[in-house]
Amino acid sequence: GESVGLHLPTLSVQEGDNSIINCAYSNSASDYFIWYKQESGKGPQFIIDIRSNMDKRQGQRVTVLLNKTVKHLSLQIAATQPGDSAVYFCAETLYSGAGSYQLTFGKGTKLSVIP
Amino acid sequence: EAQVTQNPRYLITVTGKKLTVTCSQNMNHEYMSWYRQDPGLGLRQIYYSMNVEVTDKGDVPEGYKVSRKEKRNFPLILESPSPNQTSLYFCASSWSGKSYNEQFFGPGTRLTVL
């Protein structure tokens, strides 16, 4: 079946710089996309989401961009801090019938912040 | 504190010995789900539940069972564990199964089957 993937498995960024984490998805019917952050030894934590009818959404220090033409999703983190070091997952949701949605995760990108 | 709890956090067992991993949420969420996380494969959904007494298969249900007798609890049952079920397991919950509802994840259960 179709799945969500990531361009870069690891990313090292200098503290204070901006980070960009990319994700490619293949299912054009997906209607909702989410970015999760997973710190070592913890469960994934919601960061930001975006509906398929939007192309940009901003949060606190984070921005998600959606390009449906090329089926690409990105997460931008401004002024990256050591606490941003984690694995980041993108996920897409697809209606699976009977009022429920299936969440499919990408394999993850590890972000390392260099002090 | 609103949270999803899992027990045990770590478990080492032997092939064929039945085990149950419990999951509980205190947020009155309708939707609950189990995932396994493996290196190189990311998070894959095992089973999910839209509400009490309603469960359905995810992407990788083979070798697992679940039950949803109460709204707050969603145990994962391995009737006869095998080494290929060695993994990190996460339980998650959300208000409903709709796409825009944020899923809250538990801390994870590290299972090793020898």
Q: What pLDDT sits at residue B30? A: 93
Cβ-nearest to A31 among B48, B99, B104 = B99
Contact B97 A103 (CB under 8 A): no
Q: What pLDDT sits at residue B45? A: 92
Q: What is the separation of C-alpha B65 from the centre of its chain, rounded to a whole number of angstroms?
A: 10
Positions in chain A whose pLDDT score sits under 50: 1-8
Q: What pLDDT sits at residue A100? A: 73
**Angle made by CA atoms A94, B25, B6, in degrees to the nearest 5:** 95
Task: Evaluate whether B104 touches B94 at the Cβ level (below 8 Å).
Answer: yes
Residues 6+ apart with CB under 8 A from B81: B13, B14, B15, B16, B17, B18, B19, B63, B111, B113
Task: Evaluate whether A78 touches A18 at the Cβ level (below 8 Å).
Answer: yes
Q: Best mutation site among B90, B96, B99 for testing chain A: the one with the most A CBs within 10 Å?
A: B99
List residues of B whose CB lies inside 8 A of any A CB.
4, 31, 33, 35, 40-45, 48, 50, 56, 58-59, 90, 92, 97-100, 102-108
How close B93 comes to chain A (CA, Å)?
A: 12
**Percentage of chain B lying above the pLDDT 90 cut:** 83
How close A18 comes to chain B (CA, Å)?
A: 25
Reduced to 3 states, what is the DSSP secondary structure of residue B81? coil
Residue-wise pLDDT for B37-77, tens only, equals 988 788 999 999 999 999 999 989 999 999 999 999 999 99
| Beta strand spans in chain A (E) | 4-5, 10-14, 19-25, 32-38, 45-51, 56-58, 62-67, 72-77, 86-97, 100-105, 109-114
Residue-wise pLDDT for A101-115, tens only, equals 778 888 889 999 999
Cβ-nearest to A44 among B40, B45, B105 = B105
Q: What pLDDT sits at residue B99? A: 66
Contact A43 B108 (CB under 8 A): yes
